[in-house]
Chains A and B, each alone.
Chain A
């Protein structure tokens, strides 16, 4: 029999951080510059738009080759109405620039190829001598939806892709990045933007290949939640006071001596029945307290399952919360069944994993120890406790990832409870086939970046830095120069474009060498495309460098 542990270890040990990454990180650590941390993240794609108009010399669509489809739309669950908002969050490049800029650097194509159940329309392309952007639309031929958006199933639009998707050139295949840019307002249509380094493709016959439209659906299950929202369910419950939460132990001690704790909610006395699937289960307490060391408060729900079978089912599959505005299922924290010992006392676990019975709250002494109140019995051997889930209660906690503010009672109106499935995310091919386009990009037509000689010195960290030249394109800034006695690493947190109209455009570090030693060789990406002729200069290390 194969040993899972050995195989997994063997696989993982093939991955090692590069020496360059270690060296760069060590350097950053020694810098102790927190702002640098955020700005030093590497960007995995870049966009460079040409300064003059680009041209596509030839474009031709190639008939699709379709492999058999395995599921019909109805078999997949189909589309039963556009229930939840579907925000793709990012603005595509073509909609993030002025009309004048688009006119000068974008080229309309509008070539269509149909195969299987999909029609793909290559809309337009933007490229210069470094980067290309391609926009295309897809639609189903039978009118079926390209995503699911039902009460218990929602396609994750940001995960939709083609598998595989590449540009073929000189016998090589180059992977493309792609993301969906519409909000699924029209169920059978979708828009995508993809991007690639164009330097290998200029003046060559290339083929854009899209194969097998892939979807990822997040699924939950119906527990027959009998209220319109958690707010309705809990309106008769008074939230447990923060001080009445059970303090299980120290989660972390911070540099200033303050601590964060691990809490759980005590059992309540009311019974709010909430589920048709689990009719014996009820909510007995709610409250708001920090969770897992977080500084913002989460919702705690204490639920009594009612029967052993319910407890076993819930422990196996669990409850989740669903945001009824976005349709997002929040499974950040799985149900934590509270075990009950043979003597009927609930069992809690310290952060160190030590179990104990609780008969009253513990309090922390001035010495940082926890004092046991009212004969709480510490149990160090879980084997001896004869623990079971005997009609035990469950603790659910809800705090959406990324949320920085406290959960409050007013937030409960946005959530209901659902069940989670063993595999809540299902990834599958929604439409099989291959759709391809023949292209040729003209190197002469691809605009080149503009380079400006600067040769300006400035003080930096007690030393001297010299900016020799600045290269600009609508999306990128390249700075070349040198530094002497500046402590090694420039502070890249404050670089921005100074536009002629007085506005600023933030430039984030994208890549480039020269982070160490005496060479400055940095590459930045703007947060929106710009017309190079509108740039007056740049601010770098707090010094303005004006273009001449």
Chain B
């Protein structure tokens, strides 16, 4: 009997290797807690394996993982568990830690929706059209969210910054 290779073998390892930083950092930017980001990290990659989706390209995988990461973060954010627990041993990420810049602290204080587009645009270097595709929202919405986020950041950040 022929048995097709399981998706959860080399493919899983390759996807995890290539996208673990991306998923983890995106989740961290959304949730701000190591432990929460780790929970989402696991859930995203398990959903990937269980989805059975056919991916046409690396970009397709990336867009799918971003979308699912955002969904998982939103789901976690609405749970009572998330609302009522505070990390004990895990670090709550703050701008004062590890000599991070004030930029990081300002982004952390943005509403989640704005953190998403800021992260994808400035960290993942995704063009607006790709962010639109990944999030399932229109390019005009991405643009307006980016503009609003920059507006808030300009108010928060005292120094002059180039937002290009």
Contacts and interface: CB of A to CB of B under 8 A. Distances in A.
Interface string B3-36: 0001111001100100011001100110001010
A84 interface: no
Nearest to A293: B136
A25 B8 CA distance: 11
B125 to A, nearest CB: 8
Nearest to A195: B88
A68 interface: no
A4 B49 contact: no
A15 B74 CA distance: 21
Given A44-B87, A161-B86, A336 B140 contact: yes
A315 B141 CA distance: 9
Most buried by B among A11, A34, A251: A11
Contact of A158 (B53, B67, B83): B83
Given A12-B25, A41-B42, A353-B129, A30 B8 contact: yes
B108 to A, nearest CB: 10
Given A5-B164, A255-B53, A353 B86 contact: no
A243 interface: no
Given A4-B163, A8-B103, A351 B132 contact: yes
A353 B42 contact: no
Contacts of A4: 103, 122, 153, 161-163
Interface string A196-207: 110000000000
A34 B46 contact: yes
Contacts of A159: 83
B4 to A, nearest CB: 13
Given A4-B122, A402-B75, A422 B103 contact: no
B151 A422 contact: yes
Interface in A41-60: 41-42, 44-45
Contact of A8 (B33, B122, B144, B152): B122
Interface string B139-163: 1110011001001110000011111
A267 B88 CA distance: 52
Interface in A142-171: 158-159, 161
A547 to B, nearest CB: 30
**A interface, over-half SS:** mixed
A1 B35 contact: no
Contact of B24 (A15, A40, A333): A15
A215 interface: no
A351 B134 CA distance: 8
A2 B163 CA distance: 9
Interface in A364-411: 382, 401-402
Interface in A1-49: 1-5, 7-17, 21-22, 24-26, 28-32, 34, 36-37, 40-42, 44-45
A57 B140 CA distance: 64
Contacts of A134: none
A155 to B, nearest CB: 13
A178 interface: yes
B100 A14 contact: yes
A179 interface: yes
Contacts of A196: 88
B84 A425 contact: no
Most buried by A among B33, B39, B47, B51: B39
A272 B84 CA distance: 41
Contact of B101 (A1, A7, A24, A292): A7
A542 interface: no
Contacts of B148: 316, 422
Interface string A84-95: 000011100000
Contact of B136 (A14, A25, A30, A351): A351
A53 to B, nearest CB: 25
Most buried by A among B6, B29, B84: B84
Contacts of A126: none
9 contacts: A2-B161, A8-B107, A14-B100, A16-B21, A41-B42, A45-B85, A89-B83, A251-B136, A422-B148
Given A255-B52, A401-B75, 12 more contacts: A14-B98, A29-B46, A36-B46, A37-B47, A42-B35, A90-B84, A179-B83, A331-B113, A353-B129, A353-B130, A353-B132, A422-B152
Interface of B: 6-9, 12-13, 16, 20-21, 24-25, 28-29, 33, 35, 38-39, 41-43, 45-54, 64, 67, 74-75, 77-80, 83-90, 93, 98, 100-101, 103-104, 107, 111, 113, 118-119, 122-123, 128-130, 132-133, 135-141, 144-145, 148, 151-153, 159-164
Interface of A: 1-5, 7-17, 21-22, 24-26, 28-32, 34, 36-37, 40-42, 44-45, 88-90, 158-159, 161, 175-179, 195-197, 251-255, 262, 292-293, 315-316, 331, 333-334, 336-337, 339, 349, 351-353, 355, 382, 401-402, 422-425
Q: Closest 4 interchain pairs by CB? A: A353-B129, A255-B52, A11-B104, A158-B83
